[in-house]
Amino acid sequence: MNRHTLIVGLLQVASVTWGFNLEKTNPRIFYQKPGSNFGYQVCHFGPKGSNSILVTSPLHQNGTGGVYKCPYTGQCELLPMKVNPGISLGMSLACTADRAMVCGPRLTEECNHLTHLNGLCVEISQRFTESKSIKPAFQECRDISLDAVVLYDSSQSISDLEFRTMIEFIKAIIRMFTDPGTQVAVAQYATDNHAVFNFENFAAKRKENPVDLMNEVRHEKGNTYTAAAIRFVLENMFTEDKGMQKDSKKLLIVITDGKSNDKTESLDAVLPLAQDMNVTMYAIGVGKQFSYDELLKISLNNSKNVMMTESFDALNSIQNELKSKIFAIEGTGAVSNHSSFEKELSQGGFSIALSEDESTFGAVGAYTWSGGLEKYGLGLDATFINASAEEKDLRDSYLGYSVALLSVNRRAVYFAGAPRYRHTGLVLGFQQSHNDTWTITYRIPGSQFGSYFGSALCTLTGKSYGTNGLLVIGAPSHHGKGVGGEVHICQMEYETPNCSQRLRGTPGNERGQFGSSLSSCPDLNGDRAPELAVGAPSENNGKGSLYIFLSDSRGIRSEYSQRIAGSQLNSRLQYFGLSVHSAGDLSSDGLTDLVVGGKGSATIIRSHPVMCLRVSVTLDPPVIPQDSFHCSNPRGLDRPVSTVHVCVTLEEVLKGTIQTPFKTAVSASLELDEQIKPLRLVLSSNRQWNMNLTGSQTFCQNLTLNLPACISDYHDQDLLGTLVADVEDIPGSNGLRPMLSPDCPLEFLSKVLLEKVCGEDHVCVPDLHVSVKFTSPVVVNISGFQVEVLVDVLNNGEDASAIKMELLFPSSLSLTKVRQTVDKSPVLYGLNSTGKGLYSFMASDLGPTVIRQGARTAIQISLMVFNQTSLSDILSVNVSVMSKNEDVLKLQDNSAQATVPVKLPFDVIVQEGESTTRYIRFPDKTELKHEFKVENIGELAVPVNVTFVLPVQMEFGFSWSVGLSGREGQKEKCFKERPVTEEENKDCKSDICHLIVCAISSLSVKKPISFIFSGVISRNTRGSGVQVKAESWAFLSLDEAHYTHFPGSGGLSRSIVSELEVPSQGPATVIATVSVFCTLIVLLIIFGILYKLGFFKSRETLYGSSPSEDAAPEGDGTTPPGDQSADTAEAKVDGDGTS
């Protein structure tokens, strides 16, 4: 019988076997008083085979700290340590196979009234005794003192009021010198100079009120002899016989309001003496008469030591600045701003990393809390790694909060975390060059504000983690919805670390501090690679949790395999996961154990042994022949066509020193994939069976495959298997039982193969036909333009297999995607250059394994323009296909060609200009103006023609004497206007239109050209109440042989409409006529009434005047002659009547 073993693909039931692989029922827990912080750091340490752990208690004995040795089967005992009180020994701890190092980073020492804060570390031997002590990044106390002289200007240019203001400013400076190591003296100068008081006088008055020394000063007045005064101070006041301290820092502050007019001395001659004496010079200029260049020269060309104010009243504004500059000198006084601290507050030993021959300590407080590292060799030769000089913004970053060592490309890299860097955190990697200098070779920044990224570091090495291993970075304060902490996994295989993988704990623990502690853990799943343990001490309201992440062939799995809550082990546990460490076996069973620290506790957790159920599936025959299933076969059906052999083997993957063989009861089942209907094959009835396995035992089961009917679908058939295991506890192991490895899932898959059908001769002779076409009618010659090509393959012959397709296309295009058009699945291909400006695309998998007779497959190929300069006017692609066994006489239709024109993009718009007239009230206004703006919004300068259709004669007798009055640009040429033709008349909205064509030879990008058409509106008819619209058009046209409208955003035409209006005159005329008529009637009525009343009779009649006195002269033209005689006659009658 021909037997053939198939490759079995194992399918995993779930992504992770939850609860793998730590034993939770019988932990070993050590307790001490929680107030001592017992459990703050833990590690597995001791000689080979040791079952002891080290547990620190940094608050033991009022903060002195201590270290406990706790054997697995005994009680904890405090190790004797000779350390300074209050150093918090046990804040950091690290262990290797040979030694352990424990540190207390709170070693204090008084120095010059400043408290130094360093660290003390103790190395513990395998005998649990103190072998040596180290003070990493330690700063010895140095006696540094400061002597300063204030030299002020007392010349006549300063008024008495300004002088008194300056003296008060100097008194304020004197009050700054309160530290015993600092002294001040004062001198004044004008034409002459003298000391107001010396250092010895200040020292004598220090305990009283040294400001009183300024009470007797007088305003000398005189010239400004600055250079001579500086020489006087240097030679006569900075001397020990005047009270200057030995080896002190020396400072000279010069206050002046004007330029020096010294005739006896020059600054160029005096200032070198200040440099030789190491005197730091400050210059303060007051007012507007001083020379900045002179102040800069006095400060020895240090612009930071030059200060200026506009007046003496403003001197107080620079008082704080001067104070910070004076006391920025290293170690001078309690008023220092600490800007120059180096290792005084280093807290060396805040973190530790050990290798076989080196010890590396973090010093978070060094260089103003920028932090740093200090490395010790076996000979205690120390090297401090200071990054603050290169990284200027490291201040207050706490570099060295965590440290880790990793070999990258066979060179040691020292990683240090700075969790407070810019409040987002940073991890730096340092390497030592051949000349012993240190450089930053890796820089991994955090991203979230306040995440404390870099507060915990760990490294993983092994075959699963690549040549250089993994760097693990904790960010325990990372926050988000349901997230409380995060761990970043950084692959170090490339020049820039890839830290894209992130681990998280159980959702909902937003204050869980996941990632506070990290540790490598020896193999738990049998792949010989270490696992990762992560502590989350604040989960479950401070009860804490521990997470296990297993390795796999690509690194660390993103889902945890087990989460152990502290409350699951014991309700007394608090902040379980505060620290974690694992170095192997502690319980004498040869299996990995973990040590987990909490507040007041240390817990040892054992791991279970690991087993695997290996499955092999073979078929006999391995491929079912076609004469067993082909419908043309005369043999009978519903009979066995193959035998399935299934064997299950119990493999003891991790057993440690356990001698008892593993035992398990297994239930197995095998099913055919029922998704394919109708069923083509049927399994025998014994497809479910049970077995008991012990040790490395194997159990096999045989099943048969029957064929109920002939088959026309020749696809392979899937066999799906499932195992259920019931594992027994190991006797005498106190609760251990074999755990099924997550790499050995309980489901398995096999394939039932059918022989290929190709006719009676068993040789498939296909006949392929191929066609190719572009999906768009034009290709735009612009970078990034997508070109889609469709290839259709039809088989007119027998089954076609091993199909290959080749596509030749210009090298000015790049290939972006190849896929089938039906199911959109990708197609595997290779790409090669032919060396003739063409690329050869070769696909060996066009989707179906076989294209049957009459079937077809379509391939969509996506190309993209990336080299515009080399693209010709016509784009051509050639395609050819080939299949196994195809007849050479039928290859004439196995190739095809497609072409498409290539054009440049044209993206020009025409818009209405700002000077356009929108409304005219005729005849009040007659000037009409239309402005068109043509703009290139594309990426290339292009030629363009613009056709303007302008109304000349409109309704109601309106006409527009329009002409091109102006245009902006130098590259356009306009043709003489003419009337539109009948064909063009469709764009004319008026009675008569004229047409103007302008050609722009090259329209630049983002440089619009404006065309302004203007003229007078006139009218040859009368009438009012008329509204007319004057509408003009602009049309863009392009060279369609070389350009195409792309991206087609519109804007190729534009119309401008202006409204002409003649207001109605009817109502106004009627109103005016009626008003005049009524006014005349009223005047006539008034005139008649006055006449009846005699209003128009002569004055003689009314007043009885004599005719001789009041009669008008004859012939004066005032009264007609007839009227005059009548009046005279009437006057006479009246006169007779009255005499």
| Residue ranges per structural domain of the chain | 28-137+342-606, 150-199+207-326, 609-754, 768-904, 908-1062, 1067-1096, 1104-1138
Strand partners, 187: 151, 195
> Which pair of tokens denotes residue 427?
């991890």
Q: Where are the beta strands (DSSP E) in 129-242?
A: 130-134, 146-153, 182-189, 193-197
List, in order, residues 6 or more apart from 99 with CB less than 8 Å away.
123, 124, 125, 126, 131, 354
CA 256/CA 270 separation, integer angstroms: 17
Assigned superfamily of 28-137+342-606:
Integrin alpha, N-terminal (2.130.10.130)
Same topology for domains 28-137+342-606 and 908-1062, yes or no? no
- Of the candidates 1070, 1067, 1058, which has an alpha carbon nearest to the alpha carbon of residue 921? 1058
Place of tokens 């004439």: 892
Kindly tell me the sign of the dihedral angle through the C-alpha atoms of 969, 973, 975, 976.
positive
> Which pair of tokens denotes residue 1122?
């007839």
List, in order, residues 6 or more apart from 842 with CB less than 8 Å away.
804, 805, 806, 829, 830, 831, 832
| CA 173 vs CA 5, 144, 209, 981: distances in Å | 94, 20, 13, 95
> Which pair of tokens denotes residue 1128?
């005279």
- Of the candidates 658, 670, 856, which has an alpha carbon nearest to the alpha carbon of residue 752? 670
* Alpha-helix residue ranges (DSSP H) falling in 84-159: none
Q: Are 194 and 206 in contact (CB under 8 A)?
A: no
Backbone angles phi, psi at 381, to 5 degrees: -80, 125
How is residue 245 annotated by DSSP? Answer: P
- Tally Cβ neighbours within 10 Å of residue 220: 18
How is residue 543 annotated by DSSP? Answer: T
* Residue 386: predicted pLDDT: 93
* Residue 612: predicted pLDDT: 96
Classified by CATH at the fold level, domain 908-1062 comes out as: Immunoglobulin-like (2.60.40)
* Residue 357: predicted pLDDT: 87
Torsion of CA 13, 18, 20, 22, to 10 degrees: -170
Q: Low-confidence residues of the chain, pLDDT below 50? A: 1-17, 329-339, 1098-1139
| CA 835 vs CA 55, 840, 864, 898: distances in Å | 70, 10, 20, 21
* Residue 434: predicted pLDDT: 83
CA 31/CA 573 separation, integer angstroms: 9
* Residue 677: predicted pLDDT: 66
609-754, which class in CATH? Answer: mainly beta
b (16+ CB within 10 A) / e for 908-936: bbbbbbeebbeebebeeebebbbbbbbbb
Classified by CATH at the fold level, domain 768-904 comes out as: Immunoglobulin-like (2.60.40)
* Residue 1129: predicted pLDDT: 29
> Which pair of tokens denotes residue 495?
């020049």
* Residue 1021: predicted pLDDT: 85
Element (H, E) at 1133: helix 1121-1138
* Residue 80: predicted pLDDT: 95
For 873-894, the three-class secondary structure string (H helix, E strand, C coil) is CEEEEEEEEECCCCCHHHCCCC
Element (H, E) at 541: helix 539-542
Helix (H, G, I), strand (E, B) or coil at 1067: helix
List, in order, residues 6 or more apart from 637 with CB less than 8 Å away.
707, 708, 709, 710
Q: Are 1047 and 963 in contact (CB under 8 A)?
A: no
CA 805/CA 881 separation, integer angstroms: 4
Backbone angles phi, psi at 289, to 5 degrees: -95, -10
Query: Could you tell me the maximum CA-CA distance found in the chain, to the nearest angstrom?
Result: 183
Strand partners, 967: 1011
* Residue 984: predicted pLDDT: 64
What radius of gyration do the chain's Cα atoms show?
52
Assigned superfamily of 150-199+207-326:
von Willebrand factor, type A domain (3.40.50.410)
Q: Are 365 and 117 in contact (CB under 8 A)?
A: yes
> Which pair of tokens denotes residue 711?
């088959």
